[in-house]
Amino acid sequence: MSGPDTMHDPSTMTAEALATAFRDGTTSACANVAATLARIARVDGAVNAFTDILAARAQARAEALDAARGRGEPLGPLAGVPFAVKNLFDIAGLPTRAGAKINRDRAPAERDAALVRRMEAAGAILVGGLNMGEYAYDFTGENVHDGPTRNPHDLGHMSGGSSGGSGGAVGAGLVPIALGSDTNGSIRVPSTFCGCFGLKPTYGRLTRAGSFPFVGSLDHVGPMARSVTDLALSYDAMQGPDPDDPVATTRPAEPALSHLTNGLGNLRVAVAGGYFARGGDAEAFAAVAAIARALGVTRSVAIPEAARARAAAYLITAAEGAALHLDRLRTRGEDFDPAVRDRLIAGAMIPAPLVERAQRFRRWYRSAVLDLFREVDVILAPATPCRAPRSGQATFVLDGVTLPVRANIGVFTQPISFIGLPVVAVPVRLDDGLPLGVQVIAAPWREDHALRVAHQLERDGVVRAPVANL
């Protein structure tokens, strides 16, 4: 006989649906956790999204939530919803891996990262830590220490990185929400490859306190989810100032969930041309065109000097990343992923005047792009130049040129995160093949604009995040 613990399948439900079912008594938090852990045990051996499973902690948290509901206590908007985090977020009692062999020698974290605490304050239940590229310096999702996270829609292909475990976990139906980080595209790339929604908020919008850094002037943190509503629910739960992150905004929280149903309204939407209309496979641009048609968009804008912005982002990334890891490079160089180590060493050799020029250009570029947002509210651009490459693939051909995969997956994401703009990555399927993705880009602090457009597309059936058939 079916009862409240057996009538639902968390692997196919959104966080919103799970929270609703918990609040109305259709299911229990314990049932959600049990079903989630069972699916992880059954599926994750193939996907390899998780590095740490927190079964005892999750079960204890679920029991407490069920008891609170039984006492009639107020329940948070994510009550009863399992989630997981990229393993660069501190988890109390575990060393913070950041995808690295070296970090496993660190002392266990004394408390959870700020965003983990905020998610749990909203009622969510942490079930584990997720695989990632070493020190977040990766676009492929292939970790030499923990093994690659595989694309849940085709296990022979990459998940994308560096938040590959986060994308793989959501795309495989292991959790409805996962947290990731994005320095040059590390939320948007795996969201695209794994067919889920991802939000890279404005730089400084969400606190990074309790997360292992990569490039302090470029690092963002944010959610990946099965629906736009789930993005907004988690984003709203995590907002707010935090003195523990020196770049966290002091702006008050600006909830986005209530704006989703406003539709497009009078939002002015344009397609990014020029740099963002070349250098990729035809199907990447076809995905943007499909989104534009669905929205009735005919306008195009040119983001000035985007190629130079990407080059400057590379310089700053390499130099700041190298500075962070110099001591480790000197004392434990053999324990790095060789590809990461070599890029960091190269970054340490960049002349300081070049980095200073990149920073000066960055200020000019930000001003020039912000001028565009006087004319438009949202800009559409491809998220990646192609679908997910095959696992282990070293090169691909873009516009007739053979290029290294790892260095060029972020060709369209880097010029955007370089100046901290908010972006929602939306998954597009043009056929039965692997997903593609489109960036929905907004002006600083206007996450609500990007989320509104993404929600309209989802509501119209143009974009969706199906759970992989595993």
Task: In whole angstroms, give the CA distance from residue 159 to residue 391.
Answer: 8
Known catalytic residue at 162: yes
- Which helix or strand (DSSP H or E) is residue 425 part of? strand 423-428
Task: In whole angstroms, give the CA distance from residue 451 to residue 425.
Answer: 10
Distant-in-sequence, close-in-space partners of 284: CB < 8 Å, separation ≥ 6? 382, 384, 385, 386, 436
Task: In whole angstroms, give the CA distance from residue 59 to residue 405.
Answer: 41
Task: In whole angstroms, give the CA distance from residue 4 to residue 21.
Answer: 9
Catalytic residue among 11, 28, 159, 162: 162
Contact 167, 150 (CB under 8 A): no
Task: In whole angstroms, give the CA distance from residue 413 to residue 104.
Answer: 30
Distances (CA, A) of 1 to 4, 5, 7, 374, 412: 10, 11, 10, 60, 52
Pair type for strands 147-148 and 269-272 = unpaired
Closest CA to 36 of 26, 20, 46, 50: 50
Catalytic residue among 11, 28, 86, 227: 86
Known catalytic residue at 211: no
Task: In whole angstroms, give the CA distance from residue 99 to residue 130.
Answer: 9
Catalytic residue among 11, 28, 163, 186: 186
Known catalytic residue at 186: yes
Task: Determine the 3-state secondary structure of 302 from DSSP.
Answer: coil
Q: Six-digit token pair at 307?
A: 């190629």
Catalytic amino acids? 86, 162, 186
